[in-house]
Amino acid sequence: MIRKLQTRARQFATAVLQERLDPGRAAAAVFLGIFIGIVPIYGLQTLVALGVALLFRLNKPLTLASTFINNPLLQPAIVVSSVELGYFFRSGSFRPFHLFTRTGAHIQIKEDLLAWAIGSVALGILVGGVGATIAAVVVRLHRHLTSPGHPELRDRVRFVNGMFAQCAQADRGFVRWKLRLDRIFGLLAAEDLGSGTVVDLGCGYGMALAFAAFGDNSRRLVGCDLDAHRIAAARQALSALNADVSVADVRHLELPPAGLILILDVLQYLPADEQLALLQRCCAALTPQGTLIFRVHDRERGLWSRITMAFDRLIFACGHAGVRPLMLPTAEYHRVLENAGMRVEERPFRNRLPLAHILFVARKSVAKQSVTQKPLPEAAP
């Protein structure tokens, strides 16, 4: 009898721990778990959380684990924050709180308890919402990188992370999270990155160079960036590859004949005429059937476009760039590329952060190599 009960308990625990977890259900489980953990129903939180998880068919371990936000370490902060929020919602202002030691004893305690009840609901919704968002992003990233549908991306990401394994912890961490959060690498994995020399203008840590070198360690890699620290990290990480990275301005770097040129986060730093001139130089440096890939902001996505530009302005301000980010209409980019004899494709995409981008993929046509280049178009004001 005891053995049978143990077997059933093990089967139940195995089923619970192997429950399928998708981003939406993970977010719901974390939200409800945190909410139940914050509202003052002490002694019943575990039972309520388990009941809610069963009722809505949520991941039970995740729901129960989220209730542990209410622990001895965080409980004082939760109680004080709940009471203050309660007073704010009742009277429109916060009040000094001293854990029920006010004068007016009985009446004041009743007011504090009422404020606590009201504020705990608000705090549960706020903190639960933040936790749900984080849970959804983490599960989505995990599924994206481990999905059988993305073996090429997964293998390339492992290769790049392996290249940076001996770098400083901060540099390793930046590379790891950049690879997880930036969808550009998934898009690059889906493209034909060709052969021959790879040039990355504004290469930073050299992640894209390592990404392109996957499967061909002898491929020549050329990159430049103005950040000396990142170039030093790139040199260390790419030391086993045929890489030449330097501290240099993209406008003055001598471009070798290349099969692939990348410009991922640079154009917005340049004035309009210099952006178009750089693209024209890149097209001229490409070998037959070579590819130019660059990323720009999508100016036609409404709110997402405004968020993207605001984010870029913040980055520019923090980096003391001394200029404001500038993105030209897509027609301007199309014009200069087509005048250079390129076949142009656009890949609009929204990043995991709420940022809207367009990936331009321009390939040099063999049939158009002898076409005389048209004059550089004037930039839109």
Burial degree of 152 (CB within 10 A; 0-12, 13-18, 19+): middle
pLDDT in the model for residue 19: 61
User: How many CA atoms are closer than 13 Å to the CA of 159, on its beta-carbon side?
Assistant: 23
What confidence score (pLDDT) does residue 237 get?
95
pLDDT at 372: 42
262 and 314 inside one domain = yes
Per-residue model confidence (pLDDT) at position 110: 77
Q: Which residue has the higher pLDDT, 291 or 10?
A: 291
- C-beta separation of 50 from 40 below 8 A: no
CATH code at 359? 3.40.50.150
Q: Are residues 134 and 159 in the same domain?
A: no
Q: Is there a domain that residue 347 lies in?
A: yes
Q: End of a domain among 96, 128, 146? A: 146
- Token pair of 162, please? 């392996």
DSSP string, 254-306: PPPPEEEEEESS-GGGS-HHHHHHHHHHHHHHEEEEEEEEEEEE-TTSTHHHH
Residue 82 belongs to some domain of the structure: yes
Q: What is the mean pLDDT of residues 131-158?
A: 76
Number of domains observed in the structure of the chain: 2
Q: Is residue 21 part of a domain?
A: yes
Residue 101, φ and ψ in degrees, nearest 5? -110, 25
Please indicate, yes or no, if residue 287 is contained in any of the structural domains.
Answer: yes
111, 146, 181: which is the final residue of a domain? 146
DSSP assignment, residue 322? S
Residue 378 located in a structural domain:
no
Last residue of a domain, one of 146, 164, 198: 146
381 occurs within a structural domain: no
| Token pair listed for 342 | 């390129």
10 Å CB burial of residue 289 (0-12, 13-18, 19+) is: middle
Q: What is the pLDDT of residues 79-101, one digit of tens each?
A: 888 888 888 887 777 776 554 44
Does one domain contain both 121 and 170?
Answer: no
- Residue 373 is assigned to a structural domain of this protein: no
Cβ–Cβ under 8 Å, residues 73 and 106: no
Q: How far apart are CA 44 and CA 349, in angstroms?
A: 45
Same domain, 46 and 135: yes
> Which residues constitute the domain of residue 266?
151-368
Average pLDDT estimate for 6-16: 57
DSSP H helices in the chain: 2-17, 23-38, 45-56, 60-66, 75-91, 105-146, 151-163, 169-181, 184-190, 207-213, 228-237, 272-285, 303-318, 330-339
Q: 158 with 139, same domain?
A: no
Say if pTM beats, i.e. exceeds, 0.85: no
380 located within any domain: no
